[in-house]
Amino acid sequence: MNEQSADGPRRIAPVPDETSEPFWRGGADGELRIQRCNDCGYFLHPPGRRCPECGGRAFTFSAVAGTGQVYSFAVNHQQWHPAYPTPYVIASVELPEQAGLRIVTNLVDCELDAVHIGLAVRVVFERLGEWHIPLFTPEVAAP
Ligand SMILES: [Zn+2]
């Protein structure tokens, strides 16, 4: 059952600051961009101002593959906001670029019964004004 679609509910816009803004803009170029430490290469998400690995304070937003696996998820049935019809899937998606690198997101275009830990997913973007919201959808298995 697909409760969300490209012309579906309008999302609440993010309020990026100077630290997180590149993350919300990457989708304009079809890229999932994650903050990466210039000194040691550590990926940091959510974006921050100090590298937890080396203490570095200089970062670049690097495009990652946009693939991942569902690390954990919940199906929400409580309608907290009129813009978000239920049910919908909240997921923590682990990216392959670094152990423990995870993004909290929604799964879209996905049968609720098909969601499981380890499900292979890929990023899709939902444009919202000048921002692009990274969402994930199941990888389509090769025939
Ligand atoms: Zn670092």
Distance 26 CA to ligand 1 centre (A): 22
CA of 87 to the centre of ligand 1 (A): 39
pLDDT at 84 (0 to 100): 81
Provide the pLDDT for residue 103: 98
What is the full per-residue pLDDT of the chain (143 aa) written as tens digits?
333 444 554 678 899 999 999 999 999 999 999 999 999 999 999 999 999 999 999 999 999 999 999 999 999 999 888 878 899 999 999 999 999 999 999 999 999 999 999 999 999 999 999 999 999 999 986 56
124 C-alpha to ligand 1 centroid (Å): 28
Task: Determine the distance separating the centroid of ligand 1 and the alpha carbon of 12, expressed in angstroms.
Answer: 32
The string of DSSP letters for 66-83 reads: -EEEEEEEEEE-S--STT
- How is 18-68 classified by DSSP, letter by letter? TTTHHHHHGGGGT-EEEEEETTT--EESS--SS-TTT----EEEEEE--EE
Give the CA angle between residues 17, 76, 104 to the nearest 5°.
Answer: 35
Residues with Cβ–ion distance below 5 A, ligand 1: 37, 39-40, 42, 51, 53-54, 56
For residue 62, what are the β-bridge partners?
34
CA of 18 from ligand 1 middle (Å) equals 19
pLDDT, residue 85, reads: 85
